[in-house]
Structure 1
Amino acid sequence: MIIGIGSDLCDIRRITRSLERFGDRFTHRVFTEGERARSDRRAARAPSYARRFAAKEACAKALGTGMAQGVFWRDMEVVNLPSGRPTLRLTGGAAAQLAAITPAGHRALVHVTLTDDPPLAQAFVVIEALPE
């Protein structure tokens, strides 16, 4: 069963401005070390950061909290499976909220899809509860 759905659309130009204006202060506040390493390796850093930003916003919506109730930016990390498919690793308040919305006798599975078509980046997150 679906227990959460979230989507977000992010303007890559806004992320570009944040990177230029705030630099490491912005990236260290919002992104995990792994996300920074992956995005900083890319020639086009801003679209990579924008996709991850959109995924975090979409995940917070799917959790039903937004960026509140103990859910912080770095509690949600976009990681890639060995196949290259993106997923989200939740820790801290995000993991606690995921546990709270997952029905007893079920396990949560988080699906994420990311895309960009400059100047926009987009993410969709679906949280599914599967019987154990």
Structure 2
Amino acid sequence: MIFGIGTDIVQVSRMTALLERYGERFPRRILTGDEFREFSASKQPAYFLAKRFAAKEAAVKALGTGFKRGLQPCHIGVGHTERGQPFLEWQGRANELVRLLGVGRGLLSLADEKDYALAFVTLLTEREDIRSDLKSGERALNPHKLPDNGSEGHGLEERG
């Protein structure tokens, strides 16, 4: 059964501007360790970042949480199968949330074209108690009422 669907589009020039302004600080803040190593070897770093950022945004939209309650972009990674198919990797707070919410498999599709990168995420669950309430549009287990770990924000603000 579908838990949630999310999509996001990112303008590549936005990533170019962020790289020019912040250098490696921006990718270090949003990428997992494995992703940063891939980014460092990438011949098209702005496209790499645009696809990764779109995937992370689409994933939190599918989760229904956004980047709140301690969840940061670096907690969601993108890997690839031997055939090149992308998949989501949950780390840290993201791993806690998908377990708490009962999310099983996550399906990810990525695309880019000259000026834009696009990501589409479908999250699946086996739990029967996770279903849409047709009147309120909220899930039976509301992700916005999850326990807070004391941290707010999307992880892009300055860290001390």
State whether TM-score is above 0.5.
Answer: yes
Q: Structure 1: where are the runs of 5+ without partners?
A: none
Residue 25 of structure 1: how far off its partner (Å) = 0.9
- RMSD across aligned C-alpha pairs, in angstroms? 1.3
Partner of 1:50: 50
SS across alignment from 2:120: strand
Q: Which amino acid aligns with 2:115?
A: P
Higher percent of residues as strand: 1
Equivalent residue runs for 1:25-104 within 5 Å: 25-102=25-102
Q: Could you report, residue by residue, the CA deviation over 1:49-78 in whole angstroms, capped at 9, with x for unpaired residues?
A: 100000000001111111112211111011
Once superposed, which parts of structure 1, at least 4 consecutive aligned residues long, lie more than 4 Å away? none
Q: Which amino acid aligns with 2:125?
A: A
What is the CA–CA distance in structure 1 between the aligned matches of 2:4 and 2:92, rounded to whole Å? 18
Q: Which amino acid aligns with 1:127?
A: L
Residue 4 of structure 1: how far off its partner (Å) = 1.3
2:119 alignment partner, one of 98, 123, 126? 123
What is the CA–CA distance in structure 2 between the aligned matches of 1:37 and 1:74, rounded to whole Å? 13
- With normalisation by structure 2, the TM-score equals 0.75
The structure with the largest alpha-carbon Rg is 2
Higher percent of residues as helix: 1
Number of residue pairs the alignment of both structures matches? 127
- With normalisation by structure 1, the TM-score equals 0.90
Native 8 Å contact 1:3 1:101 kept in 2 = no
What is the CA–CA distance in structure 2 between the aligned matches of 1:66 and 1:45, rounded to whole Å? 25
